[in-house]
Chain A
Amino acid sequence: MIEARNISVRYGDTAILHDISLTISAHEITTLIGANGCGKSTLLKALSGLHPVKTGEVLLSGHPLSDWSRKEIARQIAVLSQSPQAPEGLSVAQLVEHGQFSQKSLFSRGNLADVHWALEQTGMEDHADRPFDDLSGGEKQRVWISLALIQKPQMLLLDEPTSYLDLGHQIDLLNLLIRLQKDQGIGILMVLHDINQASFYADRLIALKDGHVYADAAPHDVISSELVKSLLNADVTVMQDQSGNHPYCVPFGRI
């Protein structure tokens, strides 16, 4: 679905990503992990065309991103950035309506049934007329996901969607993403900070270190105490769940 071919990204003189090649599938949940500043967010932006690449190219459905207009990209990829900002005073429904921008042409208008559908997907349909500014952090995050869903994308990219949420809301949100993947067939690529959540919710982990892909496989093939030490500079003991598919980390010496 999205393919990066030897992409490098720089901010001014600082190289952020070096020669990265990978393919992101629209049929699974892929998670980017890595230390702060390793280039996870930048990779997410580069893959969705929100940040230009210095060398190499990104292909979307087999064609270079530069061949697609912003609207055409928006119909295939929706991105939820880390701290999106909404205009003041909008109701939840008015905010979500804005996601129909890419579907609209000069003479066609958005439709309210789609707004309702998008809010239903995230369980926010009863809040349609509430002011967005009054919502809690967890509710706001669901509304942002509705805004992304109304674009009818094949892929949803999320940059640390669980930051600023308490554990209950984090799990709610991750379960919602799993459901969207299963029911709607939307591919998910997200940046997560919590390696254990990544292990339990992702089909595939991509570990980034200093702008390079350090590991790229299913969670049980990626997570090891050596990798965590090298990637995040944390001393952990890796435990196994019953299925053996979802290893998880606890602080070393604490168990």
Chain B
Amino acid sequence: MSTRSALPIYLVLLLIVCLLSLRFGAVEVAWSDVFNITSETPNANTQVILDYRLPRTVAAIVIGSYLALSGLVFQTVLRNPLADPTMFGVSGGAAFAVVAAMSLAIYLFPVGESLQVATSYLPMAVVPVIALVGSLSATALVFWLAWDRGFSPLRLVLIGVVLAAVLNGIVMAMVLTLSETRTELAILWLAGSLYARDFSNVLPALPWGVAAISAIVILSPQLSALRFDPQTAASMGVATRTLAPVLLGIAACLAASAVSIAGPIGFVGLIVPHLARLIARPTIAAQILSCLFIGAILVVASDTVGRAVAAPLEVPVGIVTSLLGAPVFAFLIRAQAKRI
């Protein structure tokens, strides 16, 4: 499929899932409400859509496109189809920081009025900041540990996986020490949820993300050349030694700002690049564009399904993407094995 013919298809699909995402959820609204959100006479339903659903939908678009593009960069630079930004301390660091902050808040304000604070004793507005700091620190730690007069992709992958395992263990231990009634929100965050996200959660991630995406687009010729073996790429004039860590760092920031909004949302960064390679033309520009759109469509759809399937209860979007992602990934691996 050529880039030009793909773009309208992606736009239409994205529009459809966005409308569905505005229409379905805990509160029953009608299609007329969805199309009347810009009207001058707001009713309770249009208010629900504007205040609760629209920010979620925007958050889902942002998260999906960020994670997918970040995954494409990781897989391309590390020449490893199993690489995933959430693997490199990005998720583990965010989870660790947020749960540690929750535990600390509970320890400092054990009873009383703090229960009125909406989310687990932490104001929702500071959670993304804490998550961002956590994921960037963990990513920096992975890079620092993996550096030995240069980067070896294998060492980076292994250290990333080890650190993720260690951090997850610590997070689990912390969650278990929280008293039962208070673990719920920590677990909700860890599952990757868009519950109660408003624009103040999404907006801070936008400038970061736009900057990172622009940088990746500007560096796309380099990224494309890195798809060759390192010797050939270097021989073409790509400064592989400096470029690989730069691109990985940018991609990690992109993933970190996505994780900061909704917690770790699994499988998006892993499977969307595979889908993009399967569907899109083999040029790097087509793959970048496809990742942005497919990632957004997938996460918006997953969040909608999670809300609609058992309304008024909701399944966290991270659970839905994992439930969808695992079988899709198994299928992709089989499809690829056949081609080889």
Residue of A whose beta carbon sits closest to that of B240: A70
Instruction: Determine whether A37 belongs to the interface, using a CB cutoff of 8 Å to chain B.
Output: no
A69 touches B239 (CB 8 A): yes
Instruction: Determine whether A98 belongs to the interface, using a CB cutoff of 8 Å to chain B.
Output: yes
Q: Whole-angstrom distance between the alpha carbons of A106 and B234 in the complex?
A: 18
Instruction: Determine whether B283 belongs to the interface, using a CB cutoff of 8 Å to chain A.
Output: yes
B283 touches A94 (CB 8 A): yes
B228 touches A98 (CB 8 A): yes
Which residues of chain B from 200 to 242 have any CB-CB distance to chain A below 8 Å in the complex? Answer: 218, 221-222, 224-225, 227-229, 231-232, 234-240
B232 touches A85 (CB 8 A): yes
Residues 150-194 of chain B, each 1 if its beta carbon lies under 8 Å from chain A, else 0: 000000000000000000000000000000000000000000000
Q: Whole-angstrom distance between the alpha carbons of A73 and B229 in the complex?
A: 18
Instruction: Determine whether A17 belongs to the interface, using a CB cutoff of 8 Å to chain B.
Output: no
A228 CB, min distance to chain B CBs, angstroms: 30
Q: Which residues of chain B come closer than 8 Å to A71, judged between CB atoms?
A: 237, 239
Q: Which of A81, A102, A151 contacts B229 (CB 8 A)?
A: A81
A151 touches B225 (CB 8 A): no
Given A88-B277, A89-B282, verify A73-B228 contact (CB < 8 Å): no
Q: Whole-angstrom distance between the alpha carbons of A94 and B221 in the complex?
A: 12
Q: Which of A50, A69, A104, A148 contacts B231 (CB 8 A)?
A: A50
Q: Whole-angstrom distance between the alpha carbons of A83 and B228 in the complex?
A: 11
Q: Whole-angstrom distance between the alpha carbons of A106 and B222 in the complex?
A: 11
Q: Whole-angstrom distance between the alpha carbons of A230 and B224 in the complex?
A: 45
Residue of B whose beta carbon sits closest to that of A88: B282
Q: Which residues of chain B come closer than 8 Å to A78, judged between CB atoms?
A: 235
Which residues of chain A from 66 to 121 have any CB-CB distance to chain B below 8 Å in the complex? Answer: 69-75, 77-81, 83-90, 94, 98-99, 101-102, 104, 106
B225 touches A90 (CB 8 A): no
Q: Whole-angstrom distance between the alpha carbons of A99 and B240 in the complex?
A: 15
Instruction: Determine whether A146 belongs to the interface, using a CB cutoff of 8 Å to chain B.
Output: no
Instruction: Determine whether A48 belongs to the interface, using a CB cutoff of 8 Å to chain B.
Output: yes
Q: Which residues of chain B come closer than 8 Å to A151, judged between CB atoms?
A: 236-237
Q: Whole-angstrom distance between the alpha carbons of A104 and B227 in the complex?
A: 18
A138 CB, min distance to chain B CBs, angstroms: 19
Q: Whole-angstrom distance between the alpha carbons of A70 and B282 in the complex?
A: 26
Q: Whole-angstrom distance between the alpha carbons of A81 and B235 in the complex?
A: 9
A87 touches B282 (CB 8 A): yes
Which residues of chain A from 48 to 65 have any CB-CB distance to chain B below 8 Å in the complex? Answer: 48-50
Residue of A whose beta carbon sits closest to that of B284: A87
Q: Which residues of chain A come closer than 8 Å to B234, judged between CB atoms?
A: 49-50, 70
B231 touches A79 (CB 8 A): yes
B75 CB, min distance to chain A CBs, angstroms: 12
Q: Which of B221, B222, B228, B237 contacts A87 (CB 8 A)?
A: B228
B279 CB, min distance to chain A CBs, angstroms: 11
Q: Whole-angstrom distance between the alpha carbons of A151 and B221 in the complex?
A: 15
Given A50-B231, A70-B234, A85-B228, verify A104-B282 contact (CB < 8 Å): no
Q: Which of B224, B232, B236, B281 contacts A102 (CB 8 A)?
A: B236
A6 CB, min distance to chain B CBs, angstroms: 22
Q: Which of A48, A72, A86 contacts B235 (CB 8 A)?
A: A48
B234 CB, min distance to chain A CBs, angstroms: 6
Q: Whole-angstrom distance between the alpha carbons of A151 and B232 in the complex?
A: 12
Q: Whole-angstrom distance between the alpha carbons of A75 and B218 in the complex?
A: 21
A99 touches B236 (CB 8 A): yes
Q: Which residues of chain A come closer than 8 Å to B235, judged between CB atoms?
A: 48, 50, 74, 77-81, 148
Q: Which residues of chain A come closer than 8 Å to B283, judged between CB atoms?
A: 90, 94
Residues 185-199 of chain A, each 1 if its beta carbon lies under 8 Å from chain B, else 0: 000000000000000
Q: Which residues of chain B come closer than 8 Å to A94, judged between CB atoms?
A: 282-283
A232 CB, min distance to chain B CBs, angstroms: 26
Which residues of chain A from 139 to 153 have any CB-CB distance to chain B below 8 Å in the complex? Answer: 147-148, 151
A84 touches B237 (CB 8 A): no
B229 touches A70 (CB 8 A): no
Q: Whole-angstrom distance between the alpha carbons of A73 and B240 in the complex?
A: 13
A74 touches B232 (CB 8 A): no
Q: Whole-angstrom distance between the alpha carbons of A145 and B218 in the complex?
A: 28
Q: Whole-angstrom distance between the alpha carbons of A81 and B224 in the complex?
A: 18
Q: Whole-angstrom distance between the alpha carbons of A81 and B233 in the complex?
A: 11
Residues 232-262 of chain B, each 1 if its beta carbon lies under 8 Å from chain A, else 0: 1011111110000000000000000000000
A171 CB, min distance to chain B CBs, angstroms: 25
Most chain B CB within 10 A, of A73, A81, A147, is at: A81
Q: Which residues of chain B come closer than 8 Å to A50, judged between CB atoms?
A: 231, 234-235
Residue of B whose beta carbon sits closest to that of A99: B236
B282 touches A84 (CB 8 A): no
Q: Which residues of chain B come closer than 8 Å to A48, judged between CB atoms?
A: 235
Q: Whole-angstrom distance between the alpha carbons of A45 and B228 in the complex?
A: 17
Q: Whole-angstrom distance between the alpha carbons of A98 and B84 in the complex?
A: 26
Residues 150-176 of chain A, each 1 if its beta carbon lies under 8 Å from chain B, else 0: 010000000000000000000000000
Q: Which residues of chain A come closer than 8 Å to B277, judged between CB atoms?
A: 88-89
Q: Which residues of chain A come closer than 8 Å to B237, judged between CB atoms?
A: 70-75, 101-102, 151
Given A81-B231, A90-B282, verify A98-B239 contact (CB < 8 Å): no
Q: Write 14 A-B pairs (CB below 8 A) sorted by A numbering.
A: A45-B231, A50-B231, A50-B235, A71-B239, A75-B237, A81-B229, A84-B229, A84-B231, A85-B232, A88-B282, A101-B221, A101-B222, A104-B221, A151-B237
Chain A residues close to B by CB (< 8 Å): 45, 48-50, 69-75, 77-81, 83-90, 94, 98-99, 101-102, 104, 106, 147-148, 151
